[in-house]
Structure 1
Amino acid sequence: MRATGSSKAVLRQLLLISLLAALIPSAALPQQQTQMTKEERAMQLQLEKAELALEQAKSNFEKQKQRYEEMKRLKEQGIITGDELNSAREAYENAKVALKNAQISLDQTVLGFVEEATHISIVRAQKYRARDGSRRVRLVLKNTSNVKAASAAYKDVLSPQQVRSLVTIENIFVSILKDGVLVGDPYEIRIPSLRYGQQTTVEFGLQKDAENVMVRMKYLDKVDNRLIYLQKSAAEDIVSPMSLQFAQQGELGSSVLYDLELERMAETE
């Protein structure tokens, strides 16, 4: 997830809240009324593993720090050699790095849960003919993220409203393709933000006629491709004739035959 400096600070604060809650005796917390799914249990175990690794790293860091301070005093008294002091210093520095890595790993685990919980549904995909005769595609997108899965990362410490704010998706880039080629006009549309449960509509001109297209959505450092069939829609139920040939040649005064295709832009064929 690509987050701003302020959002990272908020996530760290929320993470501290969840870690403090983990230290509260289970009797002080309300009992869960619903059973966790297999996926939610796996997420909980992964989070507990990352938290345990952090606690172990903290414990080892404090231990190596105290040992290093003691070795410095012994060196000043001439009891140990410089090599022994250097060995203690190296162990202390390694423990400091390990602690930082454990904290990063826990942060990435929590953020990963939120990323996996985010989801955008394509509610509707319609192809229609505009008044000027051009073909257009209308997509209706909705943020249908899994709030329950996202809240599992914080052990249900956060309110539903706080969790919903975490799954707000920003900077969504949408495009449509046919056979790997961009066929939308414009080629790409940016959605600044999509809150949980929010629905938005984007429209493209269709530069190449197609019954189905690939909808590409780029957000949260990932690319989501969906192959969809385009529903036909029109303000009026009319049939439009289309020539399959751009031009035909013939003698002056003679007849020229064109192959025609009838297209009915309607919900039902």
Structure 2
Amino acid sequence: MRRVSALFCDLPLAERIERAEARRMADATALARNRPGSAAFVRPVAGGVATFAEAGSPLNKVAGLGFGGVPAADVLDETERAFAAVGCPAQVELAHLADPSIAATLTGRGYRLESFENVLGRDLREPPDRVVPPGIEIRPVGPGESGAWLEASVDGFTQPDTPAEPSAHVFGREVLATALRDLVAAGDVRRYLAVCDGVVAGAASMCVTGGLAQFTGAATLPGHRRRGVQTALLSARLADAAAAGCDLAVVTTAPASKSQQNAQRRGFQVLYTRAVLVKPAE
């Protein structure tokens, strides 16, 4: 693999990524709001967004906070009441480059650190190499394959490779499937299937917006792991993102996970870390 130029993550770059993530959450949750009897909501919070789709959904969070000033006390009061009204804890994903006084404000309100996640990026201004391990085919999802893509995604996400992988298994299968359907229906999202010896082995997606390619999840079925499926899915999306005119690709992983290791092998580097802060519903 050719050498990839190092990236320096300053505040404008972090803000660009966080704004894109907030828009993605808002657009996906807006679809949930249209369902009969839905309690879903989308609320602005100091440059970020608070979203709730349904009980137990991975879309329930505050994203993009930290680049629009410190949220006022009354705004946080209203946000926390909105989550509490639906029996959901208030979860904030806060970039470490954000104003540090925000973390102090949140911990003072009863938020507790639950975990971390890393945001990695790769410069696409230098064309990436395409890597396809033997016996693996990566192809866009075709007509009639949406069900296969969704099933592979849910199966892979709910069976993490190592304890360090994101705990998607805590989400119910139907709730996770609904969230995935909403995420791929919002914006310019491209879906991929990995096929090994004619059998679906994995799935992935990518959201393209404003020259930024967000790698929005990749899953390998347990029986096909350690064969290079993740490498092939990363490589295919990098090539497609560069062809689409994107200058940057980003992916979020759990620290020290196999996903992070695979991404770094394909030229990604850690840009910043998000702290996941949670306040239980009262």
Give the TM-score category using the shorter length. Answer: under 0.3
Q: Going by fraction, where is helix more abundant, 1 or 2?
A: 1
Structure number with larger C-alpha Rg: 1
More RCO (CA 8 Å, sep 6+): 2
